Amino acid sequence: MKRSMTFKFNSETIATVVLFIFLIVYPFVSSEYRALNMASFIAQMIFASSVLLIWGYCGIFSFGQTIFYGFAGYTYAILLKNLGSAAYTPLAMVAGIVVAVIVALVLGYFMFYGGINDMFVGLVTMCVTMTLNTFMAQTANEKWRIGSAALGGYNGINQVPMLTIGAHKLSGFEFYAFVLISFAAIFFALKKISTTRAGYTMIAVRDNRHRTQLLGYNTQLIQVIVFAAGAAIAAFAGILYSAWGNYVGIKMFDLQTATIPVMLVAAGGKRNPAAVFAFSLLYLNLSQRMSVAGNQYALILQGLLMIVVMLFLPDGIFGTLFRFLDKHIFDKLKINNRNRERSAE
């Protein structure tokens, strides 16, 4: 049975409204440079949404979304370098996402049909991430090239073309608008899917995989499909990053990059999209400011947040805050409104 999305006056709804008002208004009250900086934050939020989908909705803990993030970014850059024209960016985007999805389907098939689940999925995906990072680090020699595109090792691939539609390049505020619209589409798709039969099935797999299997569902197939869908989102984020910075490098495959979306989802509240994205925006801004004084401070903050969440706040910082506000404020307001309506009758 399908259930349509309904408007609920609670902390999640208010956070969603405030978040999108802020993101829509921001480019009108800031410079182009700051808008592009914010666009990079939104791209990271899209990256985090891939973890939110597979972990928060389906219980698949992956430390390897960077696999698809990096594969797509490199595919996008290599293809455009070989084609020699920015007009092919839509084709390169599709190719990057398709490559990432194929990799996810292959990896997911061997993991889930091989009986690998829970923390072991995290270990396998982390090992694949480390392997790719190690391999890409030694590709500085000129022999490591695909067509006319040299992989570059630690130097990566520079002068990656920005997104282009026809002959029109998306730069500045136009790029920001494209990223924001993409983020909104993914956000509301995640909200919508939680009210569908597919969403209920994913949640059933998350909450009790064995019981769902006993009810006749092919849980392995469901996990593979969701894993591939998460890969597509991560791939799209990787392409946005490549186009934003006009660069791809092995940092796209490193463990720090792999940790950030996991931390954002865990600390935000992995079962609440609005909590994850509101926290992500706050953290990414704070982390960047702290990195000015030294990158180690951002890493210390990241580590402290993970410790606090794991020990004291399993529902996440904002997830716990939203639940507290709902229980002590919004639920009471609803009860008072019902009492008034009954009194009026």
Coil/strand/helix, residue 177 = helix
Q: What's the confidence (pLDDT) of residue 342?
A: 64
pLDDT band (50, 70, 90) for residue 203: very high
d(CA 151, CA 135) in angstroms, rounded, equals 11
Tokens of 22: 């802020």
Which residues fall within 8 angstroms of residue 236, CB to CB, at 6 or more apart? Answer: 46, 72, 93, 97, 182
pLDDT digits (tens, 9 = 90+) for 72-107: 999 999 999 999 888 899 999 999 999 999 999 999
Q: Which residue's entry shows tokens 């690998």?
A: 116
Q: Which residue's entry shows tokens 């869908």?
A: 229
Q: What's the confidence (pLDDT) of residue 74?
A: 96
d(CA 233, CA 48) in angstroms, rounded, equals 9
CB 157 within 8 A of CB 146: no
Q: Are strands 149-150 and 145-146 parallel, antiparallel or unpaired?
A: antiparallel
d(CA 322, CA 1) in angstroms, rounded, equals 28
pLDDT average, residue stretch 221-231: 97
pLDDT average, residue stretch 202-229: 95
pLDDT digits (tens, 9 = 90+) for 253-282: 988 899 999 999 999 999 899 999 999 999
Q: What's the confidence (pLDDT) of residue 312?
A: 87
CB 213 within 8 A of CB 219: yes
CB 268 within 8 A of CB 280: yes
d(CA 304, CA 323) in angstroms, rounded, equals 22
pLDDT digits (tens, 9 = 90+) for 309-337: 888 888 899 999 988 988 888 776 666 56
